[in-house]
Structures are given as C-alpha cells and as structure tokens.
Amino acid sequence: MAPAPEPALGWMNEGTELFLKALESLDDESLAARGSLPGWTGSHVVAHVAANAEALGNLVRWARTGEATPMYSSPEQRGADIEVGAQRPVAELRLWVASSAARLADSLDALTPDQWAREVLTAQGRAVPATEIPWMRSREVMVHAVDLGGAVTFADLPASFDAALLDDITAKRSAGADGPHLRLAPTDDDRSWVVTGAGDTVTVRGSLAQLTAYLSGRPATGLHADGAALPSLPRWL
Ligand code: ZN
C-alpha cells in the first residue's frame, strides 16, 4: 500500500483556506491588474488554480476507476484554458475556484486504500501513487495564495509545509543541477538544505519562510549569502 496521504491532506485544506483568504482580501480591480507572475494577472492565477483542481480531479477519477484520465489533454490546452478562464467575470472566478477545490477534496475523501495506492501520471509524465495528489495540490494553493499579493505571505504558510516544499524543490533543482550550489541555513530551524549545482557552495541564511520564497523563485527579503551576493536562480516549475 502507498504511504498515507497525511500530512499533505491537512496542508491541502489549509492551503485552500489561505488561498480563499488571500482572494477575499483583493477587490475585483486588483485581480484584473498584472501580478507578480510574468504575463499573468490575479485572474490568471485564480483560473489556473481552479483548472488545476479539475485537472487533479481527473487523476482522482483515474485512481478510482483505473481508466487513464490525464490532468490535461496537452500543455497547449492547459495554457489556452488559463487564458480563456482568466477572461471570465471575477465573480465567476471566485465561485469557480472555491467550488472546484471543494469537489476535489470530496472526491479524495471517497478514495479507498487500494485506490489511493493506484498509480497515475502527473502533467510532467511522472508515475506516482494517488497519495501524491494532495501534495501536488498543496504546492499550488499555498504558493499561489502568496502569488496573489493579498493578505497571505510566505510567513503565513505552516513551517512543516515550508520544510516539505524545500525538500521537494531541493531534489528537483539538484537533479537538474542547472543553478548555483547552495546551502540553505534557516535562522529559525535546525535543519538545512543542500542544492547541488555549479561552483563553490554559497550558504544562504534567513527565515525558513523567506528561504522557501527564494528557492521557489519568488521575491524574498531579509536573506544573507555568506561572502557573496545572493545568487539568482533559474525557474523552478
Ligand atoms: Zn501553478
């Protein structure tokens, strides 16, 4: 049997609450304006998070039925759906993102242990047990809650989630090894993370929350690199 989906189910639900809180803190005009992600308005972020819930819902269906139902029909389709979705009236987007999140949570709740263990394919083509779905969703709702630029910042995300996200991005960046060699040393946590890359190791210090912002390619503040300028990072996802 695949490992239990906890604690990611908890992060998924907490992340959904944070996303909706950030969304509620923004008026329709701010959502229509350019945001912190290149080429995207807040409406694009909301449309993407709503469409992601439905795409992950396809994987839940796959786990339940055994019939292959991919997240998206193609990367182009994924992009086109976000563009079309972002043009919907903001009031509709608010309802869509909340209702799609609730449907995803309900469909996950109904999975049996055997169905949780069933393998599905991520949008990147990786075979994973369905127990990965809540983690995949947690990353989306937590990080995009901050991307909205409203009432939620990295400091509001649970430290346990930050640590898990650092594990995940460290593995991904180390596998690509296309960036600088880094050691992340949080000033408020005993753990540290080493990202394999090029050149001498640069140790970066700061809060766990801001190190998470940095490694995920988001604007970060209060970080200090020992004996060097803070290295800039290639894209993460
Ligand atoms: Zn995303």
Q: What is the pLDDT along the chain (237 residues), one digit of tens a residue?
A: 345 578 999 999 999 999 999 999 999 999 999 888 989 999 999 999 999 999 999 999 999 999 999 999 999 999 999 999 999 999 999 999 999 999 999 999 999 999 999 999 999 899 999 999 999 999 999 999 999 999 999 999 999 999 999 999 999 999 988 899 999 999 999 999 999 999 999 999 999 999 999 999 999 999 999 988 999 998 787
To which H or E segment does residue 77 belong? helix 75-86
CA of 141 to the centre of ligand 1 (A): 8
φ, ψ of residue 45 in degrees (nearest 5): -60, -45
Report pLDDT for 4: 58
CA-CA distance, 106 to 167, in Å (whole number)? Answer: 28
Domains of the chain: residue spans and CATH? 5-152 (1.20.120.450), 159-225 (3.30.1050.20)
CA of 113 to the centre of ligand 1 (A): 28
CA of 224 to the centre of ligand 1 (A): 28
CA of 32 to the centre of ligand 1 (A): 18
Q: Helix (H) and strand (E) counts for the chain?
A: 9, 6
Q: Which of 100, 96, 90, 95 is nearest to 41 (CA)?
A: 90
CA-CA distance, 54 to 59, in Å (whole number)? Answer: 9
Report pLDDT for 235: 78
CA of 139 to the centre of ligand 1 (A): 8
Report pLDDT for 1: 38
Q: Which of 31, 39, 104 is nearest to 71 (CA)?
A: 104
CB-count burial class (<10 Å; 0-12, 13-18, 19+) for 193: buried
CA of 228 to the centre of ligand 1 (A): 31
Q: Which two tokens stand for residue 112?
A: 């049996």
Q: Which of 137, 133, 132, 131 is nearest to 112 (CA)?
A: 131
CA of 200 to the centre of ligand 1 (A): 31
Q: Which two tokens stand for residue 161?
A: 């989630």
CA-CA distance, 225 to 187, in Å (whole number)? Answer: 12
The helix/strand/coil state of 184 is strand
CA of 52 to the centre of ligand 1 (A): 8
